[in-house]
């Protein structure tokens, strides 16, 4: 393809240098990737050939290299996650190995590593400031962990392992998306929809319309629709059908079966770790975290597990009591839990989710996000309807700081739809740094993706309290990217240690539950009336109900993750292995897990959270302790505390070691008690 006709290789001249979304086609990506990889290789060859061998010519130049490749990759992976097609998926499969080979060749380039290693060896005497020292150390660590010190057959084998892993993790994610997109439960009449509030029926009708089934109602495997159906449907048999489809994603025999794929991924990860000198993959993964060792992770998981199971048992007794009162005598099963928990919530706390949802319209909660960001950090979000992204549902906001200067762009993509993977996540089309070509500043373009069930046209999308927390969580990640103020791309935004990255996001969830925020922004979508005080009090009273259930489910998934990645022997049957681990722990079957191994995308659609799902709990220790600073100040928007939070957490990226930057904010190490208290695991 002629480069002049490829919009991916042309200058991106739209405002904020957005890509020409309307002009990009799947067939543009392979030639664009190939051209960008050639350009990157030429940049790296120039670094090696430069005789100066100093911080600027090696470290700064490498940090700046590959800009075109990075922007094409960012666009591609955002599209394959948020708006994929069969053609894009084909390109994704086709390019997985070549892209992995390219990046592996970069990290294992012996001449390039010698240049970086030379600077690393001499770093103490180069008069570098603290951020520059950190950049050298992190960059050197990246190369070492990617096998830069391997030689001969080991180097070749490592490259082959990395390329095969790229193919397998791509296939794993596509298989989960296939099973999610392939399933529908049609509700053929009002009787089939018994128990479903209006907002669930509306979401089911919109899901049908999105699939060209207007006038019908369908339950898909969108998380918000699944959880709502399991919470409200009176039909136990239908709840079981939906639950089994949800937990069985990735386990169907045939071409989309993830069991053999996960088995091979685990085997290759064991080999990868061994090549790098580690006893197991968990040791390799944890060597570059705050936790550092399996022992510290297990200590946290064990402490929480032994407190969570009794809390779950207390909740179970409440559910069984409600079942007995209703004359129900069947065994409590996983597809029953949310339904009976809702009955308990209504009777014990007079808290009905269908009564609450009208006060949590999506548009109002987005305004709440922006208001909290303004009050804490001085940010202003200006809607730019003239800026078009990859789908009409995506809203663009220009972000400016206290002085009115624009600091970046925020793209908000909130709805579930065909071609979009499940879950919620933050990503970027561009990262903040001051090391762009010519020494300029790169302004961030940050995306938040959610999967809320969209209301029919003309109706507001109403959120559950869990949805609101998810909205705030992802926006916390978004703020981490938008508020980044560092010199170098490698250290920007969320590019921090994995068990620190969830701190800014989980911390921001606290403002979703603040009485002051609820009073200001939770208003009835039809009447404009504020959320009544008695409902706020009920929300606060019920806040810890269900935490035993949620904590058991999360911790069980983290335990299975650590167990499977610290294993040194082959795992022939991941389903049996998962069951064995849970049985040894005495995990209650009625609770289930957040994610089963067959569809655990955190672990198998990439390596970022492999032997790392514990990080949400690790970060929760930090976020609960951090929010105590506002509690101690007596104001959730206390200006001096917010200023410290911005200075030491949200703006620092990876320019400071995370333990040190947390101590700088808090004045001490984090303690475990606030997290246990927040979850109701201690009094």
pLDDT digits (tens, 9 = 90+) for 636-682: 999 999 999 999 999 999 999 999 999 999 999 999 999 999 999 98
Q: Name the residue among 433, 259, 464, 236 with its Cα closest to residue 335.
A: 236
Domain 3-107+109-149: give its CATH architecture: Up-down Bundle (1.20)
Residue-wise pLDDT for 599-632, tens only, equals 999 999 999 999 999 999 999 999 999 999 999 9
Beta bridge partners of 395: 412
608 in Cβ contact with 498 (< 8 Å): yes
What residues are paired with 217 via a beta bridge? 187
CA distance 59 to 145: 17
| CA–CA distance, 279 with 215 (Å, rounded to integer) | 57
Strand partners, 428: 446
Task: Give the separation between CA 680 and CA 625, rounded to whole angstroms.
Answer: 15
Query: What's the pLDDT tens digit per position in 133-157?
Result: 999 999 999 999 999 999 999 999 9
Which residue is it, tokens 């911005």?
Answer: 646
> Facing residues of 680 across strands?
none
Residue 279, CB-side half-sphere exposure with 13 Å CA sphere: 6
- Please say whether the structural domain 358-541+616-678 has been given the CATH code 1.10.1370.40: yes
Cβ–Cβ contacts within 10 Å for residue 12, how many?
15
Closest by alpha carbon to 531, among 363, 368, 374, 357?
357
Q: pLDDT averaged over the chain?
A: 96
Here the tokens at position 336 are 């029953």
Contact yes or no for 480/641 (Cβ under 8 A) = no
Q: Indicate the helix (H) or strand (E) that contains 452.
A: strand 445-452
- Give the tens place of pLDDT for each residue, 420-475: 998 999 999 999 999 998 778 999 999 999 999 999 999 999 999 999 999 999 99
pLDDT at residue number 279: 97
Token duo for residue 669: 């190490």
Tell me the C-alpha distance between 118 and 121, whole Å.
5
Q: What token pair was written down for 129?
A: 């400031």
CATH number of 259-351+547-613: 1.10.1370.10
Please give the Cα distance from 440 to 454 (Å, whole number): 40
Angle between helices 259-275 and 574-585 (to 10 degrees): 80
% of the chain with per-residue pLDDT over 90: 96
Long-range contacts of 572-575 (CB under 8 A, 24+ apart): 572/263, 573/259, 573/263, 574/259, 574/262, 574/263, 574/266, 574/598, 575/251, 575/259
pLDDT at 1: 58
Rounded Cα–Cα distance for residues 462 and 531 (Å): 14
Asked if 301 contacts 617 with a C-beta cutoff of 8 angstroms, the reply is yes
Residues 629 and 665: their CA atoms lie apart, in Å, by 9
Query: Which sign does the torsion angle of CA 163, 167, 170, 176 carry?
Result: negative
Residue 263: helix, strand or coil by DSSP?
helix
What is the torsion angle, in degrees rounded to the nearest 10, for the CA atoms of residue 143, residue 145, residue 146 and residue 152?
Answer: 100
Q: Is 504 helix (H, G, I), strand (E, B) or coil?
A: helix
Tokens 């022939």 found at: 572
Q: Is 140 helix (H, G, I), strand (E, B) or coil?
A: helix
Mean pLDDT of 113-130: 97
Would you say the CATH fold of 358-541+616-678 matches that of 259-351+547-613? yes
Decide if 478 contacts 409 (C-beta within 8 A): no
For residue 200, which of 412, 452, 394, 424 has the smallest C-alpha distance? Answer: 452
Given a cut of 90, is residue 2 above it in pLDDT?
Answer: no
Beta-carbon contacts of 205 under 8 Å, excluding residues fewer than 6 positions away, are: 215, 216, 217, 456
CA-CA distance, 474 to 496, in Å (whole number)?
A: 16
**Segment 249-269 mean pLDDT:** 97
* Residue 314, token pair as written in the block: 């207390």
SS3 573: coil
Name the nearest CA neighbour of 365 among 518, 532, 260.
Answer: 518
Task: Indicate the pairing of strand 445-452 with strand 406-415.
Answer: parallel
Say whether pLDDT at 5 is over 90. no
Residue tagged 């008695």 (tokens): 534
The answer to whether the CB of 479 falls within 8 A of the CB of 504 is yes
The per-residue pLDDT for range 180-206, each reduced to its tens digit, is: 999 999 999 999 999 999 999 999 999
Distance CA 82, CA 479 (A): 20
Q: What pLDDT is recorded for position 352?
A: 86
In the chain, helix, strand, coil percent, each to 5?
Answer: 60, 5, 35
Write the CA distances from 605 to 391, 558, 599, integer angstroms.
Answer: 24, 16, 9
| Cα 245–chain centre separation | 23
Dist CA 34 CA 27 (whole Å): 12
In sequence order, which ranges of 587-657 are alpha helices (DSSP H)? 601-604, 615-633, 639-645
| Pairwise CA distance, residues 52 & 47, whole Å | 9
Alpha-carbon span 638 to 663, nearest angstrom: 19
Task: Kindly list the domain boundaries of the chain, sorted by start residue.
Answer: 3-107+109-149, 183-247, 259-351+547-613, 358-541+616-678
Q: Which residues are catalytic?
A: 474
Q: What angle do CA 486, 490, 494 make, to 5 degrees?
A: 75
User: What's CA 115's distance to the chain center, in Å?
Assistant: 35
Q: CB–CB of 474/425 below 8 Å?
A: yes
Residue 3 has pLDDT above 80, yes or no: no
Report which of 270, 670, 226 is spatially closest to residue 467, judged by C-alpha positions.
226
d(CA 176, CA 477): 24
304-319 mean pLDDT? 97
């Amino acid at each position: 393809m002629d480069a002049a006709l490829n919009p991916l290789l042309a200058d991106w001249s739209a405002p904020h240098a957005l890509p020409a979304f309307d002009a990009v086609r799947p067939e543009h990506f392979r030639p664009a990737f190939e051209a960008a990889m050639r350009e990157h290789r030429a940049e790296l060859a120039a670094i090696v050939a430069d005789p100066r061998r100093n911080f600027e010519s090696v470290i700064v130049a490498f940090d700046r290299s590959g800009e075109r490749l990075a922007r094409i990759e960012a666009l591609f992976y955002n599209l394959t996650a948020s708006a994929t097609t069969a053609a894009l998926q084909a390109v994704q499969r086709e390019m997985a190995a070549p892209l992995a080979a390219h990046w592996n060749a970069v990290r294992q380039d012996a001449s390039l590593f010698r240049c970086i290693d030379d600077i690393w060896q001499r770093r103490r005497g180069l008069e570098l400031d603290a951020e520059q020292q950190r950049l050298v150390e992190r960059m050197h660590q990246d190369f070492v962990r990617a096998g830069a010190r391997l030689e001969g057959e080991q180097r070749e084998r490592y490259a082959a392992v990395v390329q095969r892993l790229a193919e397998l993790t791509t296939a794993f994610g596509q298989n989960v998306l296939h099973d999610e997109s392939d399933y529908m439960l049609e509700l053929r009449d009002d009787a089939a929809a018994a128990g479903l509030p209006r907002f669930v029926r509306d979401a089911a009708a919109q899901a049908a319309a999105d699939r060209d089934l207007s006038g019908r109602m369908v339950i898909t495997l969108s998380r918000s629709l699944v959880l709502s159906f399991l919470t409200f449907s009176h039909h136990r048999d239908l709840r079981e059908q939906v639950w089994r489809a949800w937990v069985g994603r990735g386990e169907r025999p045939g071409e989309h079966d993830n069991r053999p794929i996960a088995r091979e991924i685990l085997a290759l990860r064991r080999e990868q770790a061994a090549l790098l000198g580690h006893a197991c993959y968990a040791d390799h993964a944890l060597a570059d975290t705050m936790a550092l060792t399996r022992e510290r992770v297990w200590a946290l998981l064990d402490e929480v597990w032994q407190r969570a199971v009794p809390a779950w048992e207390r909740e179970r007794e409440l559910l069984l009591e409600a079942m007995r009162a209703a004359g129900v005598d069947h065994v409590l099963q996983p597809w029953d839990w949310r339904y009976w928990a809702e009955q308990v919530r209504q009777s014990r706390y007079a808290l009905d989710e269908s009564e609450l949802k009208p006060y949590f319209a999506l548009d109002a909660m987005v305004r709440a996000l922006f208001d909290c960001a303004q009050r804490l950090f001085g940010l202003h979000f200006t809607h730019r309807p003239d800026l078009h992204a990859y789908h009409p549902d995506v809203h663009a906001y220009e972000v400016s700081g206290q002085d009115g200067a624009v600091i970046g762009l925020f793209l908000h993509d909130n709805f579930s739809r065909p071609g979009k993977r499940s879950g919620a996540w933050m990503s970027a089309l561009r990262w903040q740094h001051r090391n762009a070509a010519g020494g300029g500043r790169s302004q961030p373009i940050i995306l938040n993706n959610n999967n809320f069930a969209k209301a029919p046209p003309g109706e507001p999308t109403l959120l559950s309290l869990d949805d609101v927390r998810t909205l705030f969580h992802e926006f916390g990640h978004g703020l981490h990217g938008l508020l980044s103020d560092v010199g170098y791309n490698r250290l920007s935004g969320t590019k921090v240690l994995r068990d620190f990255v969830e701190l800014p996001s989980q911390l921001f969830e606290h403002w979703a539950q603040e009485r002051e925020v609820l009073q200001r922004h939770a208003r009835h979508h039809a009447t404009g009336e504020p959320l009544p005080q008695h409902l706020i009090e009920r929300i606060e009273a019920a806040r810890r109900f269900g935490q035993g259930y949620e904590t058991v489910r999360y911790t069980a998934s983290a335990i299975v993750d650590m167990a499977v990645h610290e294993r040194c022997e082959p795992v022939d049957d991941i389903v049996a292995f998962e069951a064995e681990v849970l049985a040894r722990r005495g995990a209650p079957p009625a609770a289930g897990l957040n994610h089963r191994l067959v569809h655990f995308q955190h672990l198998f659609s990439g390596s970022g959270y492999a032997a790392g799902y514990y990080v949400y709990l690790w970060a929760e220790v930090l976020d609960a302790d951090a929010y105590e600073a506002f509690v101690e100040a007596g104001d959730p928007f206390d200006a001096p505390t917010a200023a410290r939070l911005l200075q030491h957490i949200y703006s620092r990226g990876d320019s400071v070691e995370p333990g040190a930057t947390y101590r700088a904010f808090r004045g001490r190490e984090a303690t475990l008690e606030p997290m246990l208290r927040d979850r109701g695991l201690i009094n």
